[in-house]
Structure 1
Amino acid sequence: MMERKPTLRDRRRSETRRTIQAHAIQLFTDSGYDAVAVADVAEAAGVSAMTVYRHFPTKEDLVLIEQPAQLIAERVAASAPALPLVRRVGGALVDAATALTGGDGDETAANEQLLLDCLRLMISTPALRARHLEGQYVLQQTILDALGEDTMDSDAAFRARAATSACLAAMHTALTRWAEDDGRTRLPELIARALTASFGDVAGATGERE
């Protein structure tokens, strides 16, 4: 089935969403997350508070990056079922990071900087750390759905959950290092190194998956 192309309304909605989030992250970074209200974000972005809430139901949502879950699930679903679980999941994590941060150009640089800023806020803000953990559980279930957990017996489902959870823990370690290092080391390489440190060669993640 052919993928539906974004309409003009879709593009405008995405542009508005990006604008609001960019202003929010800048305000949170400059003034501190707790000191900034949604009304401040709306004023900076030149929209109403209602518009902010339409795109971001809660203040915490302004710092979340939703795109990786879809990217990761697509790559897990497209991987060969015969591969080890950690290689299927780990390879998808590396590929998604490459898609998000790879390439050249102003747009890629802006996206990468936004991701770095979001990660720093999540690491430094207790309320956002809790929301990030919640997001990890959602991502784990998204990956398990892509692996076909509902078709597995209980033992296979347990192994899938264990492998997915371990891969996500490795990715979290890499993301934290990337943010602390100000993005100087490529994110796909850091994730690949974390996976190799955790699982050895079975992870099959080299950081050279472009």
Structure 2
Amino acid sequence: MTSNAPAPDPQARALLDEPPLGLRERKKRRTREAIRREAYRLFREQGYDATTIEQIAEAAEVSPSTFFRYFPTKEDVVLTDEYDPVIERLIRESPADRTFIETLRSAVIGPLKVLMETEREEMVTRMQLLVSVPALQARSAQQQTEGWRLLADLYAERTGRSRADRHLRYAAAAVGGALNEAMLAWAEAGCVGSPSEVMEDALDFLESALSGY
């Protein structure tokens, strides 16, 4: 397949590598990243179910109460990240003449390539957990629905379409579902190669059907 997605652009890389945060926010982010890093290490070493919040907190050198300030549950360590606001911003700033698919190619695939260069091990761990832990699968399904609606709302905001446009919501659900299935297929195949390739393939598959969006 010939890739249509852009390489990671300077804007996406800058947003991921150097978030515009003050000193306090940078410290909070470092703490959050330390908790997640140690949690993923423990998940790899002893399994998700066998790893306790107390063990994660001790490994990250924080108290359990500090853990809960950053992550309400153990599931949230896997299911949340710092990059959703980046993707939202890139969608909002995407040129108005881009189609829905073109917008997502830039706002999702570009940053994903950056993440796979800088945080591949954590990305692989996260996806392996999502295909193997039932509790994470249940929460992830709920998040997917919320994500599809957010995609539709963001695109409606950028293009002036109505948020009540049923066809736009269909398109967002189709694209969101396809991208999720692409990531799951990549994980189930052993996380070999780049997930951006299977996500591009999913977008290629849908592009002609959603050409009006």
Q: Which category describes the TM-score, using the shorter chain as reference length?
A: 0.7 to 0.9
**For 1:140-155, what aligned pairs fall within 5 Å after superposition?**
140-148=148-156, 152-153=161-162
Q: Does residue 88 of structure 2 align to residue 73 of structure 1? A: yes
Out of 85, 94, 108, the residue aligned to residue 93 of structure 1 is 108
Unaligned 5+ residue runs, structure 1? 103-107, 204-210
Shift of the 19–200 alpha-carbon distance from structure 1 to 2, 3 Å rule, reads same
Alpha-carbon separation, structure 2, partners of 1:154 and 1:9: 36
Alpha-carbon separation, structure 2, partners of 1:70 and 1:188: 19
Provide Cα deviations, 1:28-81, integer angstroms capped at 9, x if missing partner.
232222222211211222211001001101111111242342232222222333
Compare 85-94 and 56-65 and name the one that shifted more. 85-94
Alpha-carbon separation, structure 1, partners of 2:98 and 2:58: 50
Out of 21, 42, 47, the residue aligned to residue 36 of structure 2 is 21
RMSD across aligned positions (CA): 2.6
Deviation at 1:118, TM superposition (A): 0.9
1:207 alignment counterpart:
none
**What secondary structure sits across from 1:36 in the alignment?**
coil
Q: Does residue 72 of structure 2 align to residue 57 of structure 1? A: yes
- Matched-pair contact (CA < 8 Å) for 2:32–2:70: yes
Using the size of structure 1 for normalisation, the TM-score is: 0.79
Compare 134-143 and 35-44 and name the one that shifted more. 134-143
Q: How many residues align?
A: 193
**For 1:164-179, what aligned pairs fall within 5 Å after superposition?**
164-179=172-187
Deviation at 1:95, TM superposition (A): 2.3
Alpha-carbon separation, structure 1, partners of 2:59 and 2:200: 38
Provide Cα deviations, 1:125-168, integer angstroms capped at 9, x if missing partner.
1110111112222322332232135954476x211111111111
Q: Does residue 138 of structure 2 align to residue 130 of structure 1? A: yes
Shift of the 73–185 alpha-carbon distance from structure 1 to 2, 3 Å rule, reads same
* Amino acid aligned to 1:101: M
**What secondary structure sits across from 1:11 in the alignment?**
helix
**For 1:41-52, what aligned pairs fall within 5 Å after superposition?**
41-52=56-67
Using the size of structure 2 for normalisation, the TM-score is: 0.78
- Matched-pair contact (CA < 8 Å) for 1:65–1:115: no
Higher relative contact order (Cα pairs below 8 Å, separated by 6+ residues): 2
Deviation at 1:84, TM superposition (A): 3.1
Unaligned 5+ residue runs, structure 2? 1-18
Alpha-carbon separation, structure 1, partners of 2:33 and 2:167: 38
Which has the larger share of helix? Answer: 1
1:116 alignment counterpart:
124
- Matched-pair contact (CA < 8 Å) for 2:152–2:163: no
Deviation at 1:188, TM superposition (A): 1.9
